[in-house]
Amino acid sequence: MTEWQTILEMQLADDPPPLTVEDAEKIYLQAPLSELMYAASERRKSQVPGNIVTFMIDRNINYTNICTINCNFCSFYRSPGHDEGYTQTFDQISARIDELEELGGSRILMQGGVNPSLNFEWYTELLSELSRRHPSIALDCFSPIEIEGIAEISGLSTFEVLSRFRESGMHGLPGGGAEMLVDSVRSGISPKKGSSENWIRVMGEAQSLGLTTSATNVFGFGESIKDRVEHMKKIRSLQENSLSNGYLGFTSFISWPVMLENNAFGKIGTRRGATNLGAGSVEYLRHVSVSRLFMSNIDHIQASWPTMGLNVAQIALTAGADDIGSTMMEENVVSASGTTKTMATISELKESILSCGFTPARRDSDYNILEILKEDQAQLKI
């Protein structure tokens, strides 16, 4: 029996040991995709029993594109003073939420850039006003990097910023800005973004305050497979610490390859000697499968249709993923780097789930099931 077979055999046991970085790297590199997907699918069945695949009706709102971090792979941001820079007004943001409410949505994911022209009170007033106008919508806002930037501008600690935001109505802190939590990689793609420890620390603070959090991973920057697994290890370690302290921890793990079509990172990476930039569908499915097996303490693995397309996302549902994401309604960050599909209808997500043999269910930001959809149930709102 080969090493990868032995490792997968152990992972298929009733009470498997947590994967080590070394073993995860071996199956990532050596195991046939079909065997890897099978093991991940079996783990999904034991970790998330039932045949349900969830999705959410939500909207992405990018409240500003002004940012001083200047990530090499980002085509969305504009530097302060740029002619194409913008910051939406409270009324503009609220109008977008009105449209979401008309469609039965339950959450906004609101993120932007590190904008030095916005003071602390702008954020607290925005959260308070949106909470007042839209009490049924969960406000999952900003990212650890934005929280760090706001803390620096305001002179407050990141914990105090998060505490005040929670008091103003913020429901959750999304996991944006993680990319690769390996500093040797991170410093090359986002030198101003701060260390991986900062991201982990801010997320830990958010979890201690009861905010809903998710973990993300962008890969394909020329990093090694070991780097990718090291990223997962840092997420899993924080989850272990949070759960041991009685916190809810991360609701989910979402990964996708860096989009290279419309940004300069491909050229920058090539000049720096990076190879194997980006990742195709097979590599993505390997990544999803390994993440399901490695993330033994995070229940939900999300398939990424905005970057990979619905067809590949469907295959990911048989590779350990139990969630197909959300309708999004609009998306500006990833789409700026080349993806062409920026929203999905309820019908599209429902049919994608059904055609894979699963039962579609609408959820909220905390993964509470709101509605299980029947095969003959018409969902034609959007």
Q: In order of start, what are the domains of the chain with their CATH numbers?
A: 3-372 (3.20.20.70)
Q: Are strands 52-56 and 323-326 parallel, antiparallel or unpaired?
A: parallel
Residue 159's CB is within 10 A of a number of other CB atoms, namely 17
Residue 376's contacts (CB-CB under 8 Å, 6 or more residues apart) are none
373/355 Cα distance (integer angstroms): 13
- Report, as ranges of residue numbers, the positions in the chain whose pLDDT lies below 70: 68-84, 192, 261-276, 330-342, 375-382
pLDDT in tens, 206-264: 999 999 999 999 999 999 999 999 999 999 999 999 999 999 999 999 999 987 754 55
Whether the CB-CB separation of 114 and 161 falls below 8 Å is answered with no
The reported pLDDT for the residue numbered 180 is: 95
Nearest to 95 by CA among 108, 85, 84, 86: 108
Q: Which 8-state DSSP code applies to residue 262?
A: T
Residue 163 CA, distance from chain mean position: 22
| Residue range 282-298, pLDDT digits in tens | 999 999 999 999 999 99
